[in-house]
Amino acid sequence: MDEKTTKENLRDIQNEPDLRNIGIDKVGVKDVRYPIVVLDKAKERQHTVASFNMYVYLPHHFKGTHMSRFVEILNEYSGEITVENLPSILSAMKERFEASTAHLEVAFPYFIEKAAPVSGFKGLMEYECRLLGSFGEVEDYIVEVKVPVTTLCPCSKEISDRGAHNQRGTVTVGVRFKGFLWIEDIISVVEASASSPVFSLLKRADEKYVTEQAYDNPRFVEDILREVAIKLKDLDGVKWARIEAENHESIHNHSAYGYLEMDYTDDSKE
């Protein structure tokens, strides 16, 4: 029997020294798909499906990383992934890899039941979310959510005798915070800042309502960024935010786009 066939004797290449003297900022697995359970403000727990990126810092003296250990850690947490246990997972990653820094990115669709504004008919709305965590000399966590909205152009409304072009927009908000933060609260801020929220189920009376609401609340991408920036200030614990707004213009084949970062711990933006 060849030595190679004995598991105990398989040479551990990754563990061998590397002489090129270059540490690697991030190394790990990308796009690992895994079903997870997340916290839900209305229903306590929600089943969904996530994509994981898991990386660690690799010191210059190691040749490689034992990639299978990332998936072992995922298995141990059995898919319970919440804002609250990110530090514990990152801690496990640091320890298992003896790494100075660990990074975790979890992306998943999140569903919220939403009632139509007039008929009250209920439908489920999907919001794409990401939890981003880094644990090294400092800990850093960002909760991100992508919110589809209706935007109606203030310029088009003002200059036109009738109608106004409007379209689906996507507003992506990532926040750093103290304490705990509900995804639902970020979504509420964004939907209140657009011309109108979007819905999965609207009857005729609802369609009339959202059409008129959008017409009455025209918003440029610039307006949405500023409205979200101001409203986030009032959300308990928000320390920093990046806000992105993209309008899939109905009169063009490209997007209008805006990006804004806000640091709520100082006054530099004001």
Residue (59 or 237) nearer to a copy of itself, CB: 59
Backbone angles phi, psi at 31, to 5 degrees: 60, 40
Q: At what angle do helices 86-97 and 68-77 cross, to 10 degrees?
A: 150
DSSP H/E element including 186:
helix 183-193
User: In the complex with a copy of itself, which residue's Cβ is closer, 9 or 179?
Assistant: 9
Q: Which is nearer to a copy of itself, 41 or 47 (CB)?
A: 47
**Beta carbon of residue 36, minimum distance to a copy of itself (angstroms, whole number):** 10
Residue 98 Cβ vs a copy of itself, minimum distance, rounded to whole Å: 16
Those residues with Cβ within 8 angstroms of residue 251's Cβ, 6 or more apart along the chain or in another chain: 156, 165
CB of 78 to a copy of itself, least distance (A): 10
Rounded CA separation 233/220 (Å): 20
Between CA 81 and CA 85 the distance in angstroms is 6
Rounded distance between C-alpha atoms, residue 263 and residue 229, angstroms: 10
Q: How far, rounded to the nearest angstrom, does the alpha carbon of residue 209 sit from its chain's CA centroid?
A: 30
Kindly state the smallest distance separating residue 266's Cβ from a copy of itself, in Å. 14
Nearer to a copy of itself, 220 or 240 (CB): 220
Neighbours of 3 (CB within 10 A): 9
Contact assessment for residue 43 and residue 5, using Cβ atoms and an 8 Å cutoff: no
Name the DSSP letter for residue 62. B
Per-residue exposure over 21-53, b if at least 16 CB sit within 10 Å of its own CB, e if not: eeeeeebbbeebebebbbbbeeeeebebebebb
Task: Compute the least distance from the CB of residue 35 to a copy of itself, in Å.
Answer: 5
For a copy of itself, which is the closer residue by CB, 94 or 242? Answer: 242
**Minimum distance from CB of 2 to a copy of itself (Å)?**
6
Measured from the CB atom, the residue of 14 and 88 that comes closer to a copy of itself is 14
In the complex, what is the shortest distance from the CB of residue 65 to a copy of itself, in angstroms, rounded to a whole number?
7
- Nearest residue (CB) to a copy of itself, 160 versus 265: 160
